[in-house]
Amino acid sequence: MPITAAYIVPHPPLILPEVGKGEERKIQRTIDAYRTAAREIVAVKPDVIVVSPPHAVSYADYIHIAPGPSAEGDFTQFGQPEVRVRARYDEALSEALAELCRAEGFPGGLLGQKSPKLDHGFMVPWYFISQEGGADIPCLRVSISGLSAARHYAFGVLLQKTLENLDKRAVFVASGDLSHKLTEEGPYGFDAMGPAFDQKITAMVESADFLPLFEFTEGECRRAGECGLRSFQMMVGALDGLRVSAALLSYEGPFGVGYAVGRFRAEGTLRDPARQFLLLYEQRLAETIRQIRAEESPYAALARQGLTSYLQGKDWDAADLARLPTEMLTQKAGVFVSIKKEGQLRGCIGTIAPACQNIAEEIIMNAISAGTRDERFSPVTPDELDSLVYSVDVLGPPERVYTPEDLDVTRYGVIVTAGRKRGLLLPNLEGVTTVAEQLSIAYQKGGISPEEDVVLERFEVVRYR
C-alpha cells in the first residue's frame, strides 16, 4: 500500500521542554502518545513522510507543495532560537505530484513559496520524529488552503496515486490542533462548539468513519477555532479506499486547546469501495441539493436561474418574469444574493437600496454579480452550477442607531459608515453570535478602523432560501 499509516498530531510549541520549561508536563499523555507515534513511524521505515501543517504558506484557491531539496527552521518566535529543525525533501515526489496536479487540472503545485523556512506546525512533529532517529527520512510538506473539504480530500487521492506511480511507501502526518475554545480560562475563550468539535473529531479517529470531516460548516469551524481540519481531510484522501485500523492514542486540553494523537494503519491490499468517502460524500451532497431544489423559494430559484442563464448565454423573456409572484414585480428593495458550494461561501453581493425597477430584476442583477464579480472568489464556472445553493435577503430600510445596545445579531443587519467607507453585514449569519463579532466583521469589510468615528445603522431582512 502507498500509505502504510497515517497520524493526526497536535503542534503546541510548549510541548518541547526547551519551550515549555516544565509546562509541558501538564500534557504528559500527549507527549507519551507523540513519542509512541514517532517510534512507530520510524519503525516502518517509510520511503517518505508526508506532513501537512496548517501554518505553512497557504492560499485561498491553491494547495502549495514545498519545493527544493531541503528546509530548516527554529523556534525563535517562541524564545528558543537554538532549537532548530532541518528536513530533507523528496524532490522526485514533490515534482511528480505537482505534475499530476497540472495534468488533472487540480489547483496545486510548487508555485507560490514566500519563504522556505519551516513553521511550527511542521517542526513540532518533526522534532519528535527526529528524536526517534527519523531525521534523515525524506519528507514532503504540503500546505492547506481555502479550498473545500472535497478538494483537500481529492488532493490526498492525487498524492496516493503519485506514490503508487513511484512505488513509494509513505506515512502521512496530519499536523493540527483541535478546538482553541474549550474553556473560559483559555487564551481564546469558550464556545460550546469547541467541545462539540473535539468530540466529533475524536469519535472519527476511533471509528475511522471519515464522512463527518465533510460535514463541518464554516460557521462551526470559526466558532470552534480549529486549525487542523483541512490537514485531516487531506490525510483521509490519501487513505481513500484503504481499510484501516484506528486508535485514539491520547486526547487532552488543559490549556483550553484540544490536543489529539490518533493512528490509522492500512490493513491488507484489497481496496474497499465503502471507504471511498469522497464518492459517498458527493452522493449525499447530490441528494441534499435535489431536496433543496424541490423546496426552493421563488426568490432563491430566480437567483439560481439568473446566474445560470447568464453563464449559459441565455436571455430572459417577458413570459419568464410574468410567472413570478406579484410582489417581486411590483415592489422595490435592496437585495443580497449569497451563493454557497459544499457549505462554503462562493459569492455574496447585494444592494443596500434598490437599483432596479423591481425585486425580481434586483435579484437577477445581484445573482450575476455574486457569481462573477465578488473579488474574494474566482468567477463561477458553468460546470459548478449544479452544485450551488442560493439564498436571497430582501432588505428593509436602514434605521440610524447610536449604540451597540440597539443592535441584535439575530434580528438586525448592521451598516457601519465612516466618510466614504462603508461596511455591511447581514443578520443571523452562521458563526456570528455576538454584536461585537458582527461589528468587527462590518468594520473589516469597510476597511474602517475601530478608532474612527462611524455612523451606525441597522436593518431587518426577509431571507429566502
Question: What pLDDT score was predicted for residue 244?
Answer: 96
CA distance 176 to 231: 7
CATH number at residue 442: 3.30.1490.150
Would you say residue 220 lies in a domain? yes
DSSP H/E element including 140: strand 139-141
User: Any idea which residue has 493526526 for its cell?
Assistant: 8
Instruction: Clarify whether residues 410 and 380 are in a common domain.
Output: no
Residue ranges making up the domain that contains 371: 296-388
Longest pairwise C-alpha distance within the chain: 75
Instruction: Clarify whether residues 49 and 174 are in a common domain.
Output: yes
Strands (E), 182-308: 242-252, 259-271
Predicted structure pTM score = 0.87
Evaluated on CA atoms 220, 65, 128, 119, the torsion sign reads negative
CA distance 105 to 145: 16
Q: Which of 343, 383, 333, 385 is nearest to 363 (CA)?
A: 333
Would you say residue 188 lies in a domain? yes
CA distance 117 to 324: 58
Instruction: Clarify whether residues 401 and 384 are in a common domain.
Output: no
CATH number at residue 238: 3.40.830.10
Cell, residue 437: 463579532
Evaluated on CA atoms 263, 269, 274, 278, the torsion sign reads positive
CA distance 274 to 243: 9
- For the cut 70, the answer to whether the pLDDT of residue 317 exceeds it is no
Instruction: Clarify whether residues 22 and 41 are in a common domain.
Output: yes
Cell, residue 241: 479506499
CA distance 258 to 251: 7
Are 277 and 153 a contacting pair, CB within 8 Å? yes
Would you say residue 287 lies in a domain? no
Instruction: Clarify whether residues 268 and 156 are in a common domain.
Output: yes
Would you say residue 8 lies in a domain? yes
Indicate the pLDDT class of residue 343, thresholds 50, 70 and 90: confident
152-171 residue pLDDT tens: 999 999 999 999 999 999 99
Cell, residue 200: 466529533
Instruction: Clarify whether residues 341 and 436 are in a common domain.
Output: no
Instruction: Clarify whether residues 330 and 462 are in a common domain.
Output: no
Instruction: Indicate the number of domains in the chain.
Output: 3
Instruction: Clarify whether residues 66 and 116 are in a common domain.
Output: yes
The three-state (H, E, C) secondary structure of 32-101, written as one string: HHHHHHHHHHHHCCCCEEEEECCCCCCCCCCEEECCCCEEEEEEHHHCEEEEEEEEEECHHHHHHHHHHH
Q: Which of 332, 308, 331, 311 is nearest to 320 (CA)?
A: 308
Are 252 and 32 a contacting pair, CB within 8 Å? no
Question: What pLDDT score was predicted for residue 319?
Answer: 64
Instruction: Clarify whether residues 350 and 425 are in a common domain.
Output: no
Q: Which of 231, 129, 139, 123 is nearest to 177 (CA)?
A: 231
CATH number at residue 333: 3.30.700.20
Instruction: Clarify whether residues 400 and 384 are in a common domain.
Output: no
Mean of the per-residue pLDDT values of the chain? 94
Instruction: Clarify whether residues 66 and 188 are in a common domain.
Output: yes
348-393 residue pLDDT tens: 999 999 999 999 999 999 999 999 999 989 999 999 999 999 999 9
Residue where a domain stops, chosen among 240, 272, 304: 272
- For the cut 90, the answer to whether the pLDDT of residue 263 exceeds it is yes
Residue 265: CB partners within 8 Å, gap ≥ 6? 4, 5, 244, 245, 246
pLDDT exceeding 70 applies to what percent of the chain? 99
- For the cut 80, the answer to whether the pLDDT of residue 1 exceeds it is no
Would you say residue 142 lies in a domain? yes
Would you say residue 321 lies in a domain? yes
CA distance 298 to 320: 12
Strand partners, 8: 174, 262
User: Any idea which residue has 484557491 for its cell?
Assistant: 61
Query: Beta strand pairing status for 139-141 and 48-52?
Result: parallel
User: What's the length of the chain?
Assistant: 465
Would you say residue 281 lies in a domain? no
21-49 residue pLDDT tens: 999 999 999 999 999 999 999 999 999 99
Residue where a domain stops, chosen among 331, 366, 388: 388
434-464 residue pLDDT tens: 999 999 999 999 999 988 999 999 999 999 9
Would you say residue 416 lies in a domain? yes
Least confident stretch, 125-129, 341-345, 351-355, 388-392: 341-345
Are 464 and 392 a contacting pair, CB within 8 Å? yes
Question: What pLDDT score was predicted for residue 48?
Answer: 98
DSSP H/E element including 293: helix 277-295
Are 8 and 176 a contacting pair, CB within 8 Å? yes
Question: What 3-state class would DSSP assign to 411?
Answer: coil
Residue where a domain stops, chosen among 272, 288, 309: 272
Instruction: Clarify whether residues 370 and 401 are in a common domain.
Output: no
What backbone phi and psi angles, to 5 degrees, belong to 443?
-60, -45
CA distance 465 to 215: 19
Cα→Cα distances 103→109, 157, 162, 287, 296, Å:
11, 14, 12, 30, 38
Residue 359: CB partners within 8 Å, gap ≥ 6? 299, 327, 328, 329, 331, 332, 333, 335, 394
